[in-house]
Structure 1
């Protein structure tokens, strides 16, 4: 009788031991997968083990990391916080990374500082923690100064030829693929910007260390490109510098860099050439929302149409980019609403509609921009142009002007633009004739004269546009005040 009772008990004990052994083997397998970075495979095993032992701090750490590494950020926080409460070292780093990714930079700093404190107590290397703290501090400062920018459209495109979707007006220059422009098979992942006059290019080119630096060349009288000139520090550095764009003033340079002041990968910077000293000013990170924790680059501004573009690989597959079309602010407009959730949304560009000005109509701007390069000038309506008066008002015909003085200034600017184009065409023709001309001296003198004439003309349309804009705004304010006083 006793043997009949003991037999099932023995079987139960053996089965339980076998189950515990199997569970232990599975856990060891999960640890191996974890160490190998195979988090998706390790995750279900840790999940099963933590269900049976929810208070195990190591299991919470391992499972939380697996959730984080497989993109399940929301659920990972619970397990990482529990592990951190038990002082599991790596949980502080991962919690910091989680908050950093979610733009909760102050919370990220708190966790990174705890991580640093524990490393110092254990007398371990703190370089990695110091770097994370520095990045989080910089990101937190950027978030506090996130710019309110009207992002009026976005487009997901192939990474290989994204620049073809930039619809720049002829007055703003042109963008080219490096390998096509220089007819090379070097496979440079860079672009070439050529100015409106066609006599200067800036581009990113591979260095001897397989990084990228920004170079420039000028066109010679014989129509060939001159010697390559490397832009000096502080533009180029030991980091990668690429994707330059030069404004029409010839001194303001936008470019992307992976340097110390970048948040993640490439960030967009701006610098200016000091014409008196010939040196560039220290580049400035243009901040959020243009820059993010991902790669952001190739900012270009069409000053004639008052629109800009930049690209980012934030939240995109490896072979895709998103292009953002925006309206540049005349002066930087910092968000000061005090709502941190709103600030994060603006910085991440969660929804472009959130950046739109109430009552603004962007359709005419979009239609104008996306016609560029698709139809010839001859097919456009006479007088069809885009003249932004401010962030809410854009004129498209001369009849839109209320101020006669502003209208005349705008017409004068357009006339000078036409003269510039005609002079450039004539200059281009003379340069071609120069190569095979017998009387090079005579043609050379004509070229120099036209070049000097262009130097005098450049900048005048932009100055007249600014005066026209100011005059129109002043007149509109005057009319508004008159209506109020009636």
Structure 2
């Protein structure tokens, strides 16, 4: 019955579509969990510190830091588990819900031994938790929490304590392997994101190229610092020929965010995008749901903002394609889960269907990106003419 249901879902999806700081608080006593003895891995991590521009930082209360995150709708939403599910059982658990609001990631267990789970929204009800396979390893990681799934539905960031951590919580990244149905071995993302204190809740708004993470390094009890940065597609490190050991150490511990402002113009543009996100959140709270970035200075909030009538129609097509992509992603996820439990005959039947759907997903994703680009380029012509 389940297999038949999945085939029906996949068949329905075989459609034809049209291609589319504030100043940091003064340093106080180190966080409690800072180690007295330097971990031998720290020197190695320091040398390979990732080159990152931090555009701002905010000191906030540990229990309410999420209100400082300004994720746009495309990046999903973050919540405390207790607030979202109206309970007081899991104070250390946080939830990430995807853009469509039909899938979430969170942690369950006691504070000393938490695992990551996922649930789907079906018939207005969250399904029973399903553990994310391949991540949990009691010997290496425990207290897994603060998950954030990237828009690709494959790349997952989370925080954990354990022997793979150089402090309390460290931030890790893993990716889902569709062939095995499990996540790959998590990797510590290193410095400057991780330290001997607690570092967690790494989240990225890919559309506006803005990222956040939290740390209690150099903070008073009950306080944390939210660092806002510009994410990079590729990992670059500080070259020893260009920077002294002392400079790299400062970058590693984020001694001063202005040290990272090599190009102040880039920072200014990022701050403008951050402001737009904040303003967009206010508008969304008043009932407006649309948000389409045209350029660094222009974001459309309603269909009436489009200069071209053709682009209004293209944007409606884009919304339909995006909805279909998310539906297809959900169907694929269910098919993969069933595949891992199916017998040999069922696997043979499912394999070809899954492969076809994966190719369809890739084509649709590419068409969506192209359509977004075409709409932006078309609309930007009006602004070029104006200038």
User: TM-score under structure 1 normalisation?
Assistant: 0.54
What does residue 145 of structure 1 align with? 48
Distance 1:425 1:278 in 2: 19
Instruction: Tell me the SS of whatever aligns to 1:374.
Output: helix
Distance 1:340 1:412 in 2: 56
What does residue 294 of structure 1 align with? 197
Distance 2:211 2:81 in 1: 21
Deviation of the 1:210 alpha carbon: 4.4
Are 2:365 and 1:459 aligned? yes
Deviation of the 1:253 alpha carbon: 0.3
Instruction: Tell me the SS of whatever aligns to 1:372.
Output: helix
Instruction: Tell me the SS of whatever aligns to 2:201.
Output: strand
Distance 2:90 2:229 in 1: 30
Distance 1:275 1:187, change over 3 A: closer
| CA displacement 1:120-154 (0-9 Å, x = unmatched) | xxxxxxxxxxxx5xx63211111111111111011
Deviation of the 1:372 alpha carbon: 3.4
**Which among 106, 109, 112 is matched to residue 206 of structure 1?**
109
Distance 2:79 2:132 in 1: 19
**Which among 167, 190, 196 is matched to residue 93 of structure 2?**
190
**Which among 359, 366, 378 is matched to residue 274 of structure 2?**
366
Structure number with the higher helix fraction is 1
Structure number with the higher strand fraction is 2
What does residue 250 of structure 1 align with? 153
Decide which structure has the larger Cα Rg and report it.
1
| CA displacement 1:252-290 (0-9 Å, x = unmatched) | 000001121211000000000011111211111111111
**Which among 244, 261, 264 is matched to residue 356 of structure 1?**
261
User: Higher RCO, 1 or 2 (CA under 8 Å, sep at least 6)?
Assistant: 2
Contact 1:197 1:424 (C-alpha < 8 Å) held by counterparts: no
User: TM-score under structure 2 normalisation?
Assistant: 0.67
Are 2:102 and 1:219 aligned? no
**Which among 175, 195, 204 is matched to residue 78 of structure 2?**
175
Deviation of the 1:204 alpha carbon: 1.6
Are 2:142 and 1:233 aligned? no
Count of residues in Structure 1 that have an aligned counterpart in Structure 2: 299
Distance 1:413 1:252 in 2: 29
Instruction: Tell me the SS of whatever aligns to 1:385.
Output: strand
Deviation of the 1:317 alpha carbon: 1.1
| CA displacement 1:448-473 (0-9 Å, x = unmatched) | xxxx9x968973477438977xx9xx
5 Å-filtered alignment, 1:254-265, equals: 254-265=157-168
| CA displacement 1:221-272 (0-9 Å, x = unmatched) | x221111112223345352211000011111000001121211000000000
Distance 1:320 1:217, change over 3 A: same
Contact 1:412 1:464 (C-alpha < 8 Å) held by counterparts: no
Distance 1:137 1:414, change over 3 A: farther
What does residue 347 of structure 2 align with? none
Distance 1:219 1:302 in 2: 23
Distance 1:285 1:376 in 2: 35
Instruction: Tell me the SS of whatever aligns to 2:100.
Output: coil
Which of 278-287 and 413-422 deviates more? 413-422
| CA displacement 1:173-216 (0-9 Å, x = unmatched) | 11111012122121422211111121111012224x84221111
Instruction: Tell me the SS of whatever aligns to 2:67.
Output: helix
